Amino acid sequence: MCMGCFSGAEAALVQGAAGAVFARSGVRRVRDRLAGHGSLARRRAAHRANAAFLADLGLDPDRVLGPPPAGAGG
């Protein structure tokens, strides 16, 4: 479907939703940075959450996700 087929209201709704998603991500990063959490800490926390979810499904997290993020700092 082409963009000309959307009404102005539909385009505004889509742009507003996309803006909200980007703003939420930015706010989360700023909040984590102010709390002293770096990007490595966020990646490690995401890996732990995903590993727990996969383990609940009966899957092997190490086989699906690979090793947890490693590096200095975090």
Q: Which residue has the higher pLDDT, 47 or 74?
A: 47
Could you give the number of structural domains in the chain?
Answer: 2
Q: How many CA atoms within 13 Å lie on the side-chain side of 31? A: 6
| Residue 36 C-alpha from the chain's centroid | 18
Do 42 and 54 fall within a single domain?
yes
**Domain, as residue range, for 70:** 38-74
**Is residue 57 in a domain?**
yes
The Cα 67–Cα 64 span in angstroms is 9
pLDDT band at residue 74 using 50, 70 and 90 as cut-offs? very low
Judgement on whether residues 11 and 29 belong to the same structural domain of the protein: yes
Looking at per-residue pLDDT, the higher value among 5 and 59 belongs to 59
For the stretch 13-72, pLDDT in tens is 888 888 888 887 778 778 877 887 778 888 888 899 999 999 999 999 999 999 888 865
Q: What's the rounded Cα separation, in Å, for the pair 74 and 28?
A: 16
